[in-house]
């Protein structure tokens, strides 16, 4: 499995921190893509990214960035904290075997907390947060326990995934009388594009 050196996000690329993607050089992404041109029944592109496990711990969407050096993988602060990584630590990146997509994320329970001290903030609107997550994190992945950052009402907020449930589309198409629901485990890689979650905290 490929091993990369952990680095922070490139200067001037702060918006990349508002994702659950990790970034490698364009050359390194091309190598990963060449070995795994398809994933989940779809062609892997620079836009879609490639779903991988970092240090056999957590799923991330790996994407190319022209400001990342060859042999490095750029992670934001929350990702480094979650994986207990320091700068220049080695990070093993393992491409995940994703079955052909026949399920969608039906619900996610999200916990919100402020990333930094801020003036008094009104209660967060859960449906608005859910829409923001669906829009900004489409085609990205996460597992229970992971966290990521978003901007809500001009405030930086940490979102922690507490629970997920998915819907099996095959049971619907097969006329099985309704979709089955399951809880995502720590090793589950589930697309955020179909999430509708409540915000707690």
Q: What is the pTM of this model?
A: 0.77
What's the whole-number mean pLDDT along residues 113-135?
A: 79
The b-or-e profile of 77-113 (16+ CB within 10 A means b, else e) is: ebbbebbebeeeeebebebbebeeeebebbbbebbbe
Nearest to 73 by CA among 31, 133, 120: 31
The pLDDT, as a whole number, for residue 80 is 96
- CATH code, 103-200: 3.10.330.10
The pLDDT, as a whole number, for residue 192 is 39
What is the domain partition of the chain in residue ranges? 3-95, 103-200
What's the whole-number mean pLDDT along residues 24-33?
A: 97
- Strands, E assignment, 20-179: 21-24, 38-39, 42-43, 50-54, 58-64, 72-74, 90-95, 103-114, 141-142, 147-152, 155-168
Q: Tens digit of pLDDT for each residue in 19-28?
A: 999 999 999 9
The pLDDT, as a whole number, for residue 130 is 84
**How many angstroms separate the CA atoms of 119 and 185, rounded?**
36
The pLDDT, as a whole number, for residue 70 is 98
Q: Is the pLDDT of residue 191 over 50?
A: no
Q: Tens digit of pLDDT for each residue in 1-21?
A: 799 999 999 988 878 999 999
- CATH code, 3-95: 2.40.40.20
25: Cβ–Cβ under 8 A, 6 or more apart, which residues?
Answer: 64, 65, 66, 68, 69, 70, 71, 72
């Amino acid at each position: 499995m490929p091993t990369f050196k952990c680095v922070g996000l490139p200067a001037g690329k702060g918006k990349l921190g508002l994702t659950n993607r990790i970034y490698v050089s364009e050359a390194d992404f091309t190598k990963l893509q060449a070995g795994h041109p398809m994933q989940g029944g779809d062609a892997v592109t620079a836009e879609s990214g490639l779903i991988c496990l970092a240090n056999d711990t957590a799923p991330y969407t790996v994407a190319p960035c022209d400001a990342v050096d060859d042999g490095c993988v750029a992670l934001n602060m929350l990702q480094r904290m979650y994986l207990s990584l320091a700068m220049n630590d080695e990070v093993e990146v393992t491409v995940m075997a994703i079955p052909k997509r026949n399920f969608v994320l039906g619900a996610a329970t999200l916990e919100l907390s402020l990333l930094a001290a801020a003036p008094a903030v009104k209660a967060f609107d859960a449906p608005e947060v859910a829409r923001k997550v669906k829009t900004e994190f489409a085609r990205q992945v996460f597992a229970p326990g992971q966290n990521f950052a978003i901007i809500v009402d001009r405030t930086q907020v940490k979102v922690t995934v507490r629970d997920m449930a998915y819907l099996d589309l095959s049971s619907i198409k097969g006329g099985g009388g309704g979709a089955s629901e399951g809880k995502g485990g720590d090793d589950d890689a589930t697309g955020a594009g179909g999430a509708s979650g409540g915000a707690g905290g």
